[in-house]
Amino acid sequence: MSTATKLAPMLGRLSQICDTGHALAIHIRFTRPSLLYQTYSREWMDYYSQNGLFLTDPVVRWGLEHTGMIYWNDLKESDPNGVLTKADSFGLKNGITYATGDVASRTITGWTKSGEPFTQDEINELVQLTNDIHALTEGIETYSEALMNQLLSIDPVGEIPE
C-alpha cells in the first residue's frame, strides 16, 4: 500500500472529527512544512493569509516551541493581536493544537469543532492520527518528485484524485 493510499483515509478521519476544520503542517523544517493540509473555511484561510496572521499566530508559535497539546483558550493571553478571537468569529471553536517530533522536523496540527468540546476519546484519536501521519511521512525529504506530487494532490478531506 502506498504512502498516499495510507495517508488519505487518515486525513479523511481528521476531517470527520474536526467539523469546522483542521490544519496539518507535516515535518516543518526551517518554519516551512513539507506538506500542508487545511480544511478551514475558505473565508478564514483567505483572511488569515491576506492579513499575514501566520507571523503573529500564537498557535503556530506554541507548536514550533513545544510538543504536546494545548487548548487555544489557554493561549489567549499570549495573543496580543487577537488571532484566536478572530478565528472564533469565523466559527473555529473548541480549538486545540498538537505538536510532535523534534524541532528539526516538527508536525503541528490545529483542530476545531462546532458544538460541544472534543471528548477525550476524540482527542486521543486525533493525537494517534497525527502521530501516525508524522511516522508515515518520516524521511519525506527523500521522497521522489512523483510521490510528493501524489501526496500534494490529496484533497485535505482525504480524497485521492484518479
pLDDT digits (tens, 9 = 90+) for 59-112: 999 999 999 999 999 999 999 999 999 999 999 999 999 999 999 999 999 999
Nearest to 126 by CA among 88, 75, 63, 69: 69
* Element housing 109 (H / E): strand 106-111
Assess contact for 41 and 112: CB atoms under 8 A: no
Exposed, middle or buried: residue 108 (CB in 10 Å: 0-12, 13-18, 19+)?
buried
Assess contact for 39 and 22: CB atoms under 8 A: yes
Domain covering 3-150, topology? Beta-Lactamase (3.30.450)
Cell numbers standing for residue 34:
513539507
pLDDT tens digits for range 148-159: 999 998 988 877
Strand ranges inside 30-103, DSSP E: 32-38, 68-71, 96-100
Residues of the chain with pLDDT > 70, as a percent, come to 99
Average pLDDT, the chain: 94
pLDDT range class, residue 162, cuts 50, 70, 90: low
Indicate the pTM of the whole model.
0.93
**70 SS3 class:** strand
Place of cell 487555544: 72
pLDDT range class, residue 31, cuts 50, 70, 90: confident
What residues does each domain of the chain span? 3-150
